[in-house]
A and B are shown apart, each in its own frame.
Chain A
Amino acid sequence: MAQTLTTLPPGGAGTILQVELPEESRSRLMELGLVPGTVVELLRFAPLGDPLEIHFRGCHLTLRRHEADHILVDPMPAAGSASAGA
């Protein structure tokens, strides 16, 4: 079932279904590796609640909620570390 990246619990993971952002942002996020099928782990939110840190394909990135709200993921049932995969 699709949900947005920000609704994952910290430590939870999901598989990217779609990035629904303006073309430029979408392309850039995809170029950084957030293509559909990628497993993403939501590590934590910053102390003030925004941005958030994610882990995928072996790297760590921060995104603002503003963008992460438009990334749709299919949550993975069991907690596990995100491994690379496309």
Chain B
Amino acid sequence: MSSVSDPSHPLGSPPGSARHPGMSPANRDPKEPFYVVLTGNPNSGKTTVFNALTGLRAKVANYAGVTVERKEGRMQGVPEELRIRVLDLPGTYSLSPQSLDERISRDVLFNQLEELPAPGLVVVVVDASNLQRNLYYATQVIELGHPTVVALNMVDVAEANGVQIDDRRLAEALGVKVIPVVASTGKGVPELRQTIQSAVRERPMGADRLLLELPTPLRQATRTLAQQLAAVGGPRKVAPEAEALLMLSNEKALASNPERYPGEVHEMVKHLRGRLEAAQVDWHSAAIEGRYAAVSAIQEQVSQGVAQGETFSDKLDRVLTHRLWGTLIFLAVMALLFQSIFTLARGPMEALQAGTDWAAGWVAGVMPPGDLNSLLVDGVIAGVGAVIIFLPQILLLFLFIGFLEDTGYMARAAFLMDRIMGKVGLHGKSFIPLVSSFACAIPGIMATRTIENHKDRLATILIAPLMGCSARLPVYTLLIAACIPDVRVLGFLGLPGLTLLGMYMLGAGVALGMAWLFKRTLLKGEPPLLIIELPPYRLPLAKTVLRHMWDRSKVFLRRAGTVILGINILLWALASYPRLEGPPAGGAEGAVQAFAGEEEDSLALRHSMAGRLGRLIEPVIEPLGFDWKIGIGIVMSFAAREVFVSTMSTVYSVSENGDVTEGLAQVFKQQTRADGRPMYTPLLGVTLMVFYVFALQCVSTVAIVRRETNSWKWPIFQWFYMAVLAWGFAFLTWRVGLWLGYS
């Protein structure tokens, strides 16, 4: 949505002229924000530069229609009326995109997104300690012709490695301003800010030429196509020569959005490629080789000193990726991560639970009893509670993940685990989200954003809820206490503990099997090229890690929270209506009433929609050995698994005082079927647990999958495939158990 237009664009003008039609300062609407687009390679320190420029306020959203994070913030330290906004593009290796992230970067730089105006200034962040590959991308961006500045980051790291870079020479070679910075300490940031501020008025020119030598036939072809592009009309958004070269070299440049160019351009590209092939020029690779030759030459020109042999990071890697030590350290890190999500989060979670209970009690006390009271207490407050209860785990996990990513260890973890994950068609980066899902699938699913490959990410999201999350634990605990005899196996292993372990392993095992299946069917595709960059180890900035943690958590609270709250209110309505018609509680009979209150709650629940649903689904769950009372528990568990415990205690009128699980387990043991046989046998307990291993009974997970996949298709599919697994495995367990003589 550019506010400018270019009615006077001279058709057929030679490339290089009229480079920025309509982008002169006079045409800028002062109310429109001035967009500074920050781009660069992954690991170039782009985010640190972004944080240094914008302070701690950033808006995190998605680009329209895709789950690529759109992060922007107002630039600090400049007059507010300039309305300078900084947009942090995803890390990108090349303008020939190979992932969704890279496509977004390309589209923004080509000014092809409706939601964003043309970049006012492009800041390319270049890692001085990894100059060649960073310059490969930087030169591509500079050639586009936008006003461009290079932020030469991590000059301190380069110097520590024994290399000094002459930024003036680099500026000469690139034709744009170069500002050396150390974003982590803030060095050079005032100069960068100053440059950006003056760019609002001065509009520095971008480069007006290609920065590489091409074989003659390719150079001619590029020129021919550029002339045609300039002639076909429409305001030119980027330099025609750069656009032409990208179109010729990248097979997918035209195919990814065919309607953008008229047929004659398609014809021309085909024709020119044919000519190049005839001249024996490999149009796929000629530009890449030419560009690396050019950036190697630039690097030699601008750097002094020789990189020392082995850096500190290399030495550290000798240990951390060592066959034995590396593996042991990795396992220790995982154990620590898992334990801390489990144990460190427990205290705050209990406090949140207590706070919610207190608020519920307070509201219930001050309001007159009735439907509104019930809605507020059991619907709204319980719903809000269901959302914030996850916050401690989410905060902790993202603290950990942020730390692991920013130190560079995450890439090593992926390197170590890739073989195992590769067996089922996933890759190393899926490992940490899946381990996190043992605590809770929600942060696990949110953590899949580190996986660039769309299909791998989806497969990981689809199987994540099969990992035994902590919400299943109360259900397992109850059923084990009620159904599994506490006997020793092989003399030293307790059967209850083994059963619990078995449930976790069943979930994890089937999860990997499902990943294998999905990657071979639904998410089939060419095995993606797995490239993990192993950046040098760095000390993470607390500010960056904390900010990342908070940004992610905010996303959860805001987006998932609304859906979770909504569905909780719906479930409240299911459990409350229709009401039981009964005599209102009389004052004199208060004591008797209180005594009978639990019995009455049980009747009310059976009478409600949820109770009827429990009976309605009885035919479906009867083959699994379940009755309609368990049916009610299952129906209500779709809010969250642990709700099973409180629902069953209401169904069986167990007093809420004292230890619910212990009391309920005793009640379970006394239940009998119609023919007098005990209801909760070991076989039934195992069958019901197996059902809970697989069923997607968690509103919050559904909500977060909806958000992370940007569609209802995947969460619905996931819900159904897990329901089928749950029913199928439970049926199998029950039948095989009966056949083996259990009852």
User: Residues of A with Cβ closer than 8 Å to B?
Assistant: 22-33, 35-36, 38, 43-44, 46-51, 53, 57-64, 66-67, 81, 83-86
> Knowing A30-B285, A48-B419, A51-B419 touch, does A86 contact B292 (C-beta < 8 A)?
yes
CB pair B98–A24 under 8 Å, yes or no, is yes
> Knowing A26-B285, A47-B416 touch, does A83 contact B93 (C-beta < 8 A)?
no
CB pair B419–A28 under 8 Å, yes or no, is no
Query: A66–B317 Cα gap in the complex (Å)?
Result: 23
CB pair A46–B416 under 8 Å, yes or no, is yes
Residues from chain A with Cβ under 8 Å of B251 in the complex: 23-24
- Identify the closest chain A residue to B427 (Cβ): A64
Q: Which of A26, A28, A86 has the most CB of B within 10 A?
A: A86
A-B contact pairs, 30 of them (CB 8 A): A27-B285, A28-B94, A28-B98, A29-B529, A31-B288, A32-B93, A32-B133, A33-B132, A35-B289, A43-B317, A44-B321, A46-B418, A47-B323, A47-B324, A48-B419, A48-B420, A50-B419, A50-B422, A51-B418, A51-B532, A57-B130, A57-B133, A60-B534, A61-B533, A62-B411, A62-B418, A63-B530, A64-B418, A84-B132, A86-B292
CB pair B288–A30 under 8 Å, yes or no, is yes
Q: Could you tell me the distance in whole angstroms from the C-beta of B42 to the nearest C-beta in chain A?
A: 11
Closest 9 CB pairs of A and B: A48-B419, A60-B534, A86-B296, A62-B532, A25-B529, A47-B323, A30-B288, A31-B94, A57-B132
Residues from chain A with Cβ under 8 Å of B200 in the complex: none
B526 interface hit (Cβ, 8 Å): yes
B 480-528 contacts with A by CB, 8 A: 526-527
B 289-313 contacts with A by CB, 8 A: 289, 292-293, 296, 299, 306-307, 309-310
- Identify the closest chain A residue to B418 (Cβ): A51
Query: A35–B531 Cα gap in the complex (Å)?
Result: 16
Residues from chain A with Cβ under 8 Å of B288 in the complex: 27, 30-31, 35
- Identify the closest chain A residue to B251 (Cβ): A23
Query: A37–B694 Cα gap in the complex (Å)?
Result: 53
> Knowing A29-B529, A50-B418, A50-B422 touch, does A59 contact B323 (C-beta < 8 A)?
no
Q: Could you tell me the distance in whole angstroms from the C-beta of B320 to the nearest C-beta in chain A?
A: 11
B326 interface hit (Cβ, 8 Å): yes
User: Residues of B with Cβ closer than 8 Å to A?
Assistant: 93-94, 96, 98, 129-133, 136, 250-251, 284-285, 288-289, 292-293, 296, 299, 306-307, 309-310, 317, 321-324, 326-327, 411, 414-416, 418-420, 422, 526-527, 529-535
CB pair A62–B132 under 8 Å, yes or no, is no
Residues from chain B with Cβ under 8 Å of A43 in the complex: 317
Seed contacts A64-B422, A83-B306; 10 additional CB < 8 Å A-B pairs = A28-B94, A28-B531, A46-B415, A48-B419, A51-B418, A53-B415, A53-B534, A61-B531, A64-B418, A81-B309
Query: A58–B309 Cα gap in the complex (Å)?
Result: 10
- Identify the closest chain A residue to B533 (Cβ): A61
Query: A61–B534 Cα gap in the complex (Å)?
Result: 6
Q: Which of B130, B296, B530, B531 has the most CB of A within 10 A?
A: B531
- Identify the closest chain A residue to B323 (Cβ): A47
Residues from chain B with Cβ under 8 Å of A47 in the complex: 321-324, 326-327, 416
> Knowing A64-B530, A66-B527 touch, does A30 contact B415 (C-beta < 8 A)?
no
Residues from chain B with Cβ under 8 Å of A58 in the complex: 129-133, 307
Give which listed residue, A67, A81, A86, contacts B293 with CB less than 8 A.
A86
Residues from chain A with Cβ under 8 Å of B129 in the complex: 58
Residues from chain B with Cβ under 8 Å of A31 in the complex: 93-94, 96, 136, 288
Query: A47–B327 Cα gap in the complex (Å)?
Result: 7
Q: Could you tell me the distance in whole angstroms from the C-beta of B316 to the nearest C-beta in chain A?
A: 12
Query: A49–B414 Cα gap in the complex (Å)?
Result: 14
Residues from chain B with Cβ under 8 Å of A67 in the complex: 529-530
Q: Could you tell me the distance in whole angstroms from the C-beta of A32 to the nearest C-beta in chain B?
A: 6
CB pair A61–B293 under 8 Å, yes or no, is no
CB pair B532–A84 under 8 Å, yes or no, is no
- Identify the closest chain B residue to A51 (Cβ): B418
Q: Could you tell me the distance in whole angstroms from the C-beta of A64 to the nearest C-beta in chain B?
A: 5
Residues from chain B with Cβ under 8 Å of A32 in the complex: 93, 133, 531
Residues from chain A with Cβ under 8 Å of B250 in the complex: 27
Q: Which of A22, A48, A58 has the most CB of B within 10 A?
A: A58
Residues from chain B with Cβ under 8 Å of A66 in the complex: 527
Q: Could you tell me the distance in whole angstroms from the C-beta of A76 to the nearest C-beta in chain B?
A: 15
Residues from chain A with Cβ under 8 Å of B530 in the complex: 51, 62-64, 67
Q: Could you tell me the distance in whole angstroms from the C-beta of A48 to the nearest C-beta in chain B?
A: 4
Q: Could you tell me the distance in whole angstroms from the C-beta of A37 to the nearest C-beta in chain B?
A: 8
Q: Could you tell me the distance in whole angstroms from the C-beta of A46 to the nearest C-beta in chain B?
A: 6
- Identify the closest chain B residue to A47 (Cβ): B323
Q: Could you tell me the distance in whole angstroms from the C-beta of A45 to the nearest C-beta in chain B?
A: 9
Query: A24–B527 Cα gap in the complex (Å)?
Result: 12
Residues from chain B with Cβ under 8 Å of A59 in the complex: 130, 133, 533
Query: A79–B323 Cα gap in the complex (Å)?
Result: 22
Q: Could you tell me the distance in whole angstroms from the C-beta of B298 to the nearest C-beta in chain A?
A: 11
CB pair B285–A35 under 8 Å, yes or no, is yes
> Knowing A50-B419, A84-B296 touch, does A60 contact B285 (C-beta < 8 A)?
no
CB pair B422–A27 under 8 Å, yes or no, is no
Residues from chain B with Cβ under 8 Å of A22 in the complex: 526
Residues from chain B with Cβ under 8 Å of A36 in the complex: 289
> Knowing A32-B133, A33-B132, A62-B531 touch, does A84 contact B299 (C-beta < 8 A)?
yes
Q: Which of A57, A61, A63, A67 has the most CB of B within 10 A?
A: A57
Query: A36–B420 Cα gap in the complex (Å)?
Result: 32
Query: A3–B96 Cα gap in the complex (Å)?
Result: 30
Residues from chain B with Cβ under 8 Å of A30 in the complex: 285, 288-289, 292
Q: Could you tell me the distance in whole angstroms from the C-beta of B291 to the nearest C-beta in chain A?
A: 9
Q: Could you tell me the distance in whole angstroms from the C-beta of A62 to the nearest C-beta in chain B?
A: 4
Give which listed residue, B133, B284, B309, contacts A33 with CB less than 8 A.
B133
> Knowing A58-B131, A61-B532, A61-B534 touch, does A33 contact B415 (C-beta < 8 A)?
no
CB pair A46–B419 under 8 Å, yes or no, is yes
Query: A80–B275 Cα gap in the complex (Å)?
Result: 42
> Knowing A50-B418, A86-B296 touch, does A27 contact B284 (C-beta < 8 A)?
yes
Query: A17–B678 Cα gap in the complex (Å)?
Result: 74
Q: Could you tell me the distance in whole angstroms from the C-beta of B326 to the nearest C-beta in chain A?
A: 6
Residues from chain A with Cβ under 8 Å of B309 in the complex: 81
Q: Could you tell me the distance in whole angstroms from the C-beta of B137 to the nearest C-beta in chain A?
A: 9
Residues from chain A with Cβ under 8 Å of B416 in the complex: 46-48
Query: A59–B299 Cα gap in the complex (Å)?
Result: 14
> Knowing A31-B94, A33-B133 touch, does A23 contact B284 (C-beta < 8 A)?
yes
Query: A60–B418 Cα gap in the complex (Å)?
Result: 16
Query: A51–B533 Cα gap in the complex (Å)?
Result: 12
Residues from chain A with Cβ under 8 Å of B526 in the complex: 22, 24
